[in-house]
Structure 1
Amino acid sequence: MFPTIEYLEWIAGKPEAATHDLGSSDLRGTFQHQRGPIPGRLAGLDDPPPERDLDRQLADCYGVDESNVLVTAGATMANFVAIATAIQQAGDTGDASGPQVLVEKPGYEPLRASARALGGRVDRFLRPPEDGYPLVPGRVEAALMDDAGLVVTTNRHNPSGEFTAVETVAETARAADDYGARVLVDEVYAPYVTDLTTDGPFGAPTAAGVENTVVTGSLTKFMGLGGLRVGWLLADADFVEAARSVAWHLPALAEPSVALAARALEHREELVPAQRDLLAANHELLAGFVAERDDLAGEIPPGSSFGFVEHASVGGDDLAARAWEEYDLLVVPGRFFDRPEAVRLSLGRSAGHCEEALAVFGDLLDTLS
């Protein structure tokens, strides 16, 4: 019933083992995943008062009510619970393969794998590479069927890094509602913005509160606190209550992680600027590197520290394999994201580490010219 998630099995352990890491998309900087009980950035910081628990903090952060918040063991659990809840609410469609779950393409493999595992019939809608991977509400509407239960998208788009305006997400949600479906928006990369034009969570726009959407997020990517394994789901109160019932079937989030996540959110005004600086530095490194290489096709979206690139003559699998085997360099094959001709480059380590890793990648590319 549960299909193998090839990307997660492939990537496991590689960021820690690589000498040169261009595969880690979380902004961990000089910090590795948590090795002690308290991440170094949180040591010595005060805990919030008892009345400001994690649910209350997230509600304040996103401008919603606490009844709209469900804290989960990471965004992976949040997405899983959201998909399971939507499929359950879609009910018996009369199709043995279950209700339609419409997932973007290119896309993040676990989102479609989980939908299949939970009994959904996965169909795809295209985010066209030739146009810069936009979310086009008309493409979603054209692909929706009468038995649709859920539309799944990411913002920033994982894996291209393209950002979608909240107004476009809202238009997509309205189109889905005509078919009785919700829209799940995975926003783990939404805070990856360098041009701050909003007072939203972590300084970034969000679809939280947009009618007919379910939003997921975590502290793993932008905050670089993957060791805590803390995520969340935001939706209308009825959906959250149904999702809470589904979540009882899964392991509970550990109390120390909840406490440390609350500490991180309590001090986010102090912690976010360093993350924003790292994002800006790594974006400039990656965008500059890609722009200077005549043998690479691809553009890095403004403010993004990750994106797709395609070599003129070598496919994604071969390029990633040579990088790993000959240079101890981690880049991710695009086949895990529906783009086998490409690789995904992600700069999450310190700017110094990423600059050296890009130089090594450049040496590899020079041997292919």
Structure 2
Amino acid sequence: MSASDGPIPLLAAKYPDAIGAWVAEMSYDVARPIHEAVARELQAETLGYNDPVSLELARESLVRWMKSSYDWSVQPDSIGFVSDIVTGFGAVLNNFLPPRSHVVVPTPAYAPLLDVPAMFGHTVVRVPSLVDGPRQRMDIEGIQRALEDGARLVVLCNPHNPTGRVFTVEELTELADLVERFSARVFSDEIHAPLTLTTVPHTPYAKVSAASAAHTITATSASKGWNIAGLKCAQLIFSAPQDAARWKHTAGFFVRSVSRLGVSALRAAYDHPESQLWLDTVRARLARNNALVAETVAARLPEVIHFPAEATYLAWLDCRELGLEEPAAFFREHVGLAMTEGTEFSAPGHLRLNFALPEDLLAKALSALVRGAEILRAGRHHERGSTQHA
């Protein structure tokens, strides 16, 4: 088993002169069983199309994983394959909504969830989340108003990117009751589910009730948990039988974009005991890094509000008190730390920091974050001094 540090070309490629803490990808080696599964495909030169047997075995792997991890019983014939979550979202928007629907997206939100609906003729209704102490929660009343105005789909991201929330059963039930009352639908992006970091467990939204199962399409993948997003193999789970039947009319189009290597990696991730040990090791490591971010912000960044992640490897930072229009650009240009701008998530003045870094590199990233704030403080102090002197 290995969860050691590996090369980080993608994290460094966009901003080669900065510490890469921007894209949602871990900078850790892939689990050995996954590496070996991909190597076997290469050695056998099976780099062609997927075959029905491999896909069915992958379905069975996913069924076992959902049952053992979340006590969620998923039927193999309810599982469809897509290349990635964004493609799956587009498929749902195109095939399961009336034309020109309104789509409710609680914000902050992963940028494609905000942008993709317009590509299919739909309108996004942004509902800002509410700050509740050290975490954010959905604005149920705001979502209700959008549904009252005719919205047909609510987008749920759980665990949440970028805030790291793991929504409780009570929160999910409240949403399910509301959506059911308005005969609407839910697209539930649960790609970060394997990466819970606290005692709060992940609960699949479709498992909450018979009503939620009937109105939900769930998107999932091994890509985030095992750091294999580039292998292009995600799944849609149609917990309503009529949705599964409808998907069969379009499934062939989407499965063509699914990588055979990704299917092999999925099975190695979900089925191999060593891959489970790798995941446990990574989660423990991420929990320590998450705590280090919290400690650093609390001790040295009084202007910044940090929302400690309950899952994922993403730190969500409210930096509005720093007074910067583009905080990500400032930290990248002045201290060489590349993070993601909050405007991408419909949250200006915020930053998303990826803490799935080697410990020494994370320490450097946090030192750079502190140094950037110190530069701003010194600048403001100099401006005040100049004003008083004048």
Task: Using structure 2 for the length normalisation, give the TM-score.
Answer: 0.77
Q: Tell me, in whole angstroms, the C-alpha distance in 2 between the residues paired with 1:162 and 1:105.
A: 12
Residues 209-241 of structure 1, C-alpha deviations (whole Å, 9 max, x = no match): 342222112222222112212211112232133
Instruction: From the superposition, tell whether residues 191 and 167 of structure 1 become closer, same or farther in structure 2 (CA, over 3 Å).
Output: farther
* 1:232 equivalent in structure 2: 235
Asked if residue 175 in structure 1 is aligned to residue 159 in structure 2, the reply is no
Instruction: From the superposition, tell whether residues 156 and 316 of structure 1 become closer, same or farther in structure 2 (CA, over 3 Å).
Output: farther
Q: Tell me, in whole angstroms, the C-alpha distance in 2 between the residues paired with 1:247 and 1:101.
A: 23
* 1:314 equivalent in structure 2: 323
Measured after TM superposition, the shift of residue 313 of structure 1 is: 2.6
Q: Which amino acid aligns with 2:155?
A: V
Asked if residue 65 in structure 1 is aligned to residue 75 in structure 2, the reply is yes
Q: Secondary structure of 1:76's match?
A: helix
Measured after TM superposition, the shift of residue 196 of structure 1 is: 4.7
2:188/2:216 contact within 8 Å kept: yes
Q: Tell me, in whole angstroms, the C-alpha distance in 2 between the residues paired with 1:13 and 1:125.
A: 32
* 1:95 equivalent in structure 2: none
Measured after TM superposition, the shift of residue 85 of structure 1 is: 2.6
Q: Secondary structure of 2:136's match?
A: coil
Asked if residue 295 in structure 1 is aligned to residue 274 in structure 2, the reply is no
Q: Which amino acid aligns with 1:22?
A: A
* 2:3 equivalent in structure 1: none
Instruction: From the superposition, tell whether residues 245 and 287 of structure 1 become closer, same or farther in structure 2 (CA, over 3 Å).
Output: farther
* 1:201 equivalent in structure 2: none
Q: Which amino acid aligns with 1:171?
A: E
* 1:265 equivalent in structure 2: 270
Residues 240-283 of structure 1, C-alpha deviations (whole Å, 9 max, x = no match): 33234345444421222212221222124233212212221221
Q: Tell me, in whole angstroms, the C-alpha distance in 1 between the residues paired with 2:338 and 2:55.
A: 44
* 2:350 equivalent in structure 1: 342
Q: Where does 1:277-296 land on structure 2 (aligned, <5 Å)?
A: 277-292=284-299, 293-296=301-304
2:168/2:200 contact within 8 Å kept: no
Q: Secondary structure of 1:160's match?
A: coil
Name the stretch that deviates more: 57-66 or 13-22.
13-22
Q: Tell me, in whole angstroms, the C-alpha distance in 1 between the residues paired with 2:325 and 2:247.
A: 38
Asked if residue 121 in structure 1 is aligned to residue 123 in structure 2, the reply is yes
**Among 320, 333, 338, the residue aligned to 1:325:** 333
Answer with 1 or 2: which has the greater Rg.
2
* 1:34 equivalent in structure 2: none
* 1:105 equivalent in structure 2: 107
Measured after TM superposition, the shift of residue 146 of structure 1 is: 6.0
* 1:5 equivalent in structure 2: none
Asked if residue 134 in structure 1 is aligned to residue 137 in structure 2, the reply is yes
Q: Tell me, in whole angstroms, the C-alpha distance in 1 between the residues paired with 2:29 and 2:200.
A: 28
Residues 311-367 of structure 1, C-alpha deviations (whole Å, 9 max, x = no match): 3233251x2112222333211111111111121122122223212211122222221
* 1:243 equivalent in structure 2: 247
Q: Secondary structure of 1:286's match?
A: helix
Measured after TM superposition, the shift of residue 14 of structure 1 is: 5.7
Task: Using structure 1 for the length normalisation, give the TM-score.
Answer: 0.81
Measured after TM superposition, the shift of residue 161 of structure 1 is: 1.6
> Quick check: which one's helix share is greater?
2
Q: Secondary structure of 1:252's match?
A: coil
Unaligned runs of 5+ in 2: 1-8, 41-52, 67-72, 378-390
Q: Secondary structure of 1:253's match?
A: coil
Q: Tell me, in whole angstroms, the C-alpha distance in 1 between the residues paired with 2:298 and 2:154.
A: 34
Q: Tell me, in whole angstroms, the C-alpha distance in 1 between the residues paired with 2:55 and 2:78.
A: 18
Instruction: From the superposition, tell whether residues 235 and 54 of structure 1 become closer, same or farther in structure 2 (CA, over 3 Å).
Output: same
* 1:8 equivalent in structure 2: none
Q: Secondary structure of 2:353's match?
A: strand
* 1:274 equivalent in structure 2: 281
Instruction: From the superposition, tell whether residues 275 and 78 of structure 1 become closer, same or farther in structure 2 (CA, over 3 Å).
Output: farther
* 1:3 equivalent in structure 2: none
Unaligned runs of 5+ in 1: 1-11, 32-38, 93-97, 199-203
**Among 201, 204, 207, the residue aligned to 2:205:** 207
Q: Which amino acid aligns with 2:117?
A: A
* 2:21 equivalent in structure 1: 22
1:99/1:120 contact within 8 Å kept: yes
